[in-house]
């Protein structure tokens, strides 16, 4: 009985420590995301991205998704700035002058800042190989991206 109570207490402590947030970003792509804390120092982010490549000049529009593991870089914050790092996998499909699919495994790093209460902002960069297959050909290249985002903690 003691083990069961201790187990339930541990699960309650872990679940109450976890926080969920929703947000969006602009930069290399624009998108929305949902983020859930795994522990006090790590989180998983699920995102939906829109990429318009010269759309008004006969270009392409792409829709993609991303999952990323994020980890705080340390217990210190620098004037309220919280550094973090992680890795992710993005996949996408585009239609238009180029129609195809792509995958983007990448590493990332960023800085978060808690503005007030449940609102925080972040700036982030990522880099990794891009693997693409399209009507214009296929190949592997180096991709990079930046984003400026907003998080709103919902729990």
CATH number of the domain encompassing residue 79: 2.40.160.20
Each of the 155 residues of the chain gets a pLDDT tens digit; together they read 444 333 433 333 334 445 899 999 999 889 999 999 999 899 999 999 987 665 565 677 889 999 999 999 977 777 889 999 999 999 999 888 878 999 999 999 999 999 998 999 999 999 999 999 988 889 999 999 999 999 999 97
- Is residue 25 a part of any domain in this protein? yes
Q: Answer for the pair 103, 134: CB distance below 8 angstroms, yes or no.
A: no
- Is residue 149 a part of any domain in this protein? yes
Domain enclosing residue 71, as ranges: 21-153
Q: Which residues contact 45 (CB under 8 A, 6 or more apart)?
A: 33, 34, 35, 66, 67, 68, 70, 88
- Is residue 4 a part of any domain in this protein? no
- Is residue 14 a part of any domain in this protein? no
Residue 119: name the closest of 147, 85, 146, 154 by CA: 154
- Is residue 26 a part of any domain in this protein? yes
Q: Which residue has the tokens 């759309």?
A: 55
Spatial separation of the C-alpha atoms in residues 134 and 65, rounded to whole Å: 18
How do the residues of the chain divide into helix, strand and coil, expressed in percent and rounded to 5? 10, 70, 20
Count of domains in the chain? 1
Report DSSP letters for 108-138, one per residue: EEEEEEEEETTEEEEEEEEEEEEEEEETTEE
- Is residue 144 a part of any domain in this protein? yes
- Is residue 16 a part of any domain in this protein? no
- Is residue 87 a part of any domain in this protein? yes
Q: Which residues contact 100 (CB under 8 A, 6 or more apart)?
A: 93, 94, 132, 133, 134, 135, 136, 138
pTM of the model: 0.80
């Amino acid at each position: 009985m003691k083990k069961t109570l201790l187990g339930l207490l541990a699960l309650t402590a872990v679940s109450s420590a976890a926080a969920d947030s929703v947000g969006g970003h602009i930069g290399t792509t624009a998108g929305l995301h949902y983020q859930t804390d795994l522990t006090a120092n790590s989180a998983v982010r699920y995102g939906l991205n829109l990429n318009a490549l010269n759309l008004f000049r006969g270009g392409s529009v792409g829709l993609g998704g991303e999952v990323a593991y994020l980890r705080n870089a340390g217990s210190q914050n620098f004037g309220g700035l919280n550094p973090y790092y992680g890795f992710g996998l993005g996949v996408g499909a585009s239609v238009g002058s180029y129609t195809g699919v792509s995958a983007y495994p990448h590493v990332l790093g960023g800085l978060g800042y808690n503005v007030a209460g449940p609102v925080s902002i972040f700036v982030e960069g990522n880099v990794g190989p891009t693997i693409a297959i399209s009507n214009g050909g296929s190949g592997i290249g180096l991709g990079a991206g930046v984003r400026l985002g907003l998080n709103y903690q919902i729990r």
